[in-house]
Structure 1
Amino acid sequence: MPYEPYDAFLLVSFGGPEAEDDVIPFLENVTRGRNIPRERLAEVGQHYYLYGGVSPINEQCRELIAALQADFAGAGVELPIYWGNRFWNPMLSDTVARMAADGVRRVVAMATSAYSNYSSHRAYLDDIAAAREAVGPEAPDIELIRPFFDHPGFVEPLVEHTLDALDRLPRDQRGGARLLFSAHSIPTAMAEASGAPGNDHGPGGAYVAQLGEVARLVSERLGEEHPYDLVYQSRSGPPSQPWLEPDVNDRLAELAEQGTTAVVVVPYGFVSDHMEVKYDLDNEASETARELGLHYVRALSPGTHPRFVTMARELVAERAAWAEPFGLTSLPACHDCPEGCCRQG
């Protein structure tokens, strides 16, 4: 059986607050060591307070785990599923300790992030290593599944959800609607340092190259042509530090000035509709579009789409067999990041 090397599956996510009293402690965990002023934490905290202090991400992880459990059981995959977060309960170190206590020895892990850069891949590897070190010699071995940006199980749900979003526009606006593929902005230095050393990903590094390919893959599969742009959201750095652009709100303003009347925003940089999708796109960008007189619809992220769920099982089998990574592009997708891969920049 292709899953035999492992005795557990671990979902590793970012984590998020689940009550108003959790918000500031959660943000302190996220920003620890970065000297972020308390006033800035309080400002970001307002995003969460709009939703009662509850980030959607933890509940989305619970829903994904339930879907994975059903899929594994239906396929005869006997792997217990554990869940650990980087910044909020259930904390990754606590989960690793529980796996050790349960006698788990070898784990295959999947991060709730599809792309290659420091924040979305290398940081997960570093946090897994730190959690294992905290637990000590009894900690299980943990292997992280590769970035899966171009796997059909990620791309196909994006295609379906983009088509659904186009259908939600007024009929007379659908044909000329412009697509905005939105991903999390990161510092340009971090973007340029993404990917394995020695691989030429072109300007912007692996992260930008992967985003460009996924946008192309989705666009080509829609059955009709729509102009599209790559945009970014959720910038949090100081104004003096260059980050990936254009910001989604700036691009909306440019498009309105150029005569565009309808847009569909596709949050293809994310695997679920967590806080940055809900606040930055459903609140801020939606309000920007309303003020500009644009018809605006936001597509869903993959979430618990059945194809995304089965992709996880396929990636476990791929990892167990050390098979050649399967994807829809020719971009390199290594099983393990070599030393120096996806640096902070």
Structure 2
Amino acid sequence: MSYDALVLVSFGGPERPDDVMPFLHNVTRGRNVPPERLAEVAEHYQHFGGVSPINQQCRDLLAAIQADFAANGLDLPVYWGNRNWHPMLADTVARMRDDGVRRALAFVTSAYGGYSSCRQYQEDIAAARAAVGPDAPVIDKLRQFHDHPGFVEPHAEAVRSALDTIDPALRGRTRLIFTAHSIPNSMAAAAGPDGGRYEAQLAETARLVAAAAAPDLPYDLVWQSRSGPPQVPWLEPDVNDHLSALAEREVAAVVVSPIGFVSDHLEVVWDLDTEAAATAKDLGLVFVRAGTPGVHPRFVSMVRELVDERIHQDERIHQDERIHRPETGSRQRLGTLPIWDTCPVNCCTPAISAPATSPRSTT
């Protein structure tokens, strides 16, 4: 199938103090998030001067993708649009239309399935196209990439580098902790025909990264950045609670790897580098946070490989459900869970009992 552009689609974030509250209102529109909760989250951004790292990280990734495409002879212009802050996706799609783009691929800054991490991006793309009108380009989202070598290998390399900073004498009392954004249990259960896609994919990524980085060490998958009403159950345990439990078991050091994320945005630098690090210090734990892929060359080349895969793959479509069969022959994959290029309409429906997106969700 022929494509004439790629669009990088991300969450967006404020870039000055005056942006913070308008940005948060965009994120939570229609979800009845209490003003005091927004004020609390706003303080996290103001701690960093009202600037989220995510937009600059997207600029860096955009430049790296463009350079990689050029170096490998892929003549495909690359655009960038956000879900919640400038450049807004609808504005980007309008520019693509004006530039003559007719069919594009979308790479979103989330590796996993689930509502906020996949389906909502599909809805954002559809809404942006609708806002632009009948001449908007067709935009096909690239597949989830939780087990792609270009995602797993940079995380594993970061874990190895973090472990190298820990006293070898503590190796026997060191534990790996993999983290991802918590979501409501009801949302985790609403994962389409295969069930539990978000949790299952994260568990597979954790297994793959641990096996590549430190097969001798025990590891856990835990959750961070919980939001929403306290009476609504979310995925647990929280990383801070887990650190307390590990300290009671005489663990001496932890390496925390945020496998739920592709870059060091606010939920990494606040929830882990600030809050979780302070918890570990209070508990007397050595705490080292592993890096995220960012613009790691292997991660950047993965984007090109996903584009090439989509362009050249043999698309056998199941005519009843209109989904691509989960086949692995031409795909670079390290895992075994089924994956889809196009999901059925009932896949990953949003939870009814809780906000579909946390006010801090930047996946």
1:33 aligned onto 2:58: no
Q: Is the 8 A contact 2:13 2:51 kept in 1?
A: yes
Distance 1:232 1:73 in 2: 38
Q: Is the 8 A contact 2:187 2:350 kept in 1?
A: yes
Q: 5+ residue gaps in structure 1?
A: none
Aligned twin of 1:294 = 285
Distance 2:27 2:313 in 1: 33
Q: 2:203 aligns with which of 204, 212, 233?
A: 212
1:63-74 alignment, distance < 5 Å: 63-74=60-71
The share of aligned pairs that are identical, in percent, is 62
Distance 2:127 2:6 in 1: 18
Distance 2:147 2:21 in 1: 35
Deviates more, 1:119-128 or 1:164-173: 164-173
- Amino acid in the other structure paired with 1:98: R
Distance 1:266 1:54 in 2: 23
Aligned twin of 2:347 = 341
Instruction: Please give the secondary structure, in 2, of the residue aligned with 1:107.
Output: strand
Aligned twin of 1:148 = 145
Q: 5+ residue gaps in structure 2?
A: 315-326, 352-363
1:184 aligned onto 2:181: yes
Q: 1:9 aligns with which of 6, 12, 16?
A: 6
Aligned twin of 2:334 = 328
Deviates more, 1:178-187 or 1:36-45: 36-45
Aligned twin of 2:360 = none
Q: CA deviation at 1:175?
A: 4.1
Distance 1:69 1:304 in 2: 12
RMSD: 1.1
Distance 1:166 1:99 in 2: 44
- Amino acid in the other structure paired with 1:340: N
1:236 aligned onto 2:227: yes
Aligned twin of 1:137 = 134
1:13-162 alignment, distance < 5 Å: 13-162=10-159
- Amino acid in the other structure paired with 1:312: V
- Amino acid in the other structure paired with 1:89: H
Distance 1:18 1:168 in 2: 33
1:158-307 alignment, distance < 5 Å: 158-194=155-191, 196-197=192-193, 199=194, 201=195, 205-307=196-298
Distance 1:334 1:185 in 2: 23
- Amino acid in the other structure paired with 1:181: F
Q: CA deviation at 1:320?
A: 1.4
Distance 2:184 2:90 in 1: 28
Q: Is the 8 A contact 2:143 2:340 kept in 1?
A: yes
- Amino acid in the other structure paired with 2:130: E
- Amino acid in the other structure paired with 1:215: A
Q: Is the 8 A contact 1:108 1:143 kept in 2?
A: yes
Q: CA deviation at 1:38?
A: 1.7
Where do 4+ consecutive residues of structure 1 move more than 6 Å?
none
Q: Is the 8 A contact 1:11 1:82 kept in 2?
A: yes
- Amino acid in the other structure paired with 1:129: A
Q: Is the 8 A contact 2:16 2:49 kept in 1?
A: yes
Q: Is the 8 A contact 1:167 1:174 kept in 2?
A: no
Instruction: Please give the secondary structure, in 2, of the residue aligned with 1:221.
Output: helix
Distance 1:283 1:170 in 2: 22
Distance 1:328 1:193 in 2: 25
Q: Is the 8 A contact 2:160 2:214 kept in 1?
A: no
- Amino acid in the other structure paired with 1:344: P
**Number of residue pairs the alignment of both structures matches:** 336
Q: Is the 8 A contact 1:113 1:271 kept in 2?
A: yes
Q: CA deviation at 1:222?
A: 2.0
Instruction: Please give the secondary structure, in 2, of the residue aligned with 1:237.
Output: coil
Q: CA deviation at 1:149?
A: 0.2
Q: TM-score, normalised by structure 2?
A: 0.91
Q: CA deviation at 1:86?
A: 0.1
- Amino acid in the other structure paired with 2:52: S
Distance 1:318 1:231 in 2: 32
- Amino acid in the other structure paired with 1:306: P
Distance 1:85 1:286 in 2: 30
Q: CA deviation at 1:152?
A: 0.6
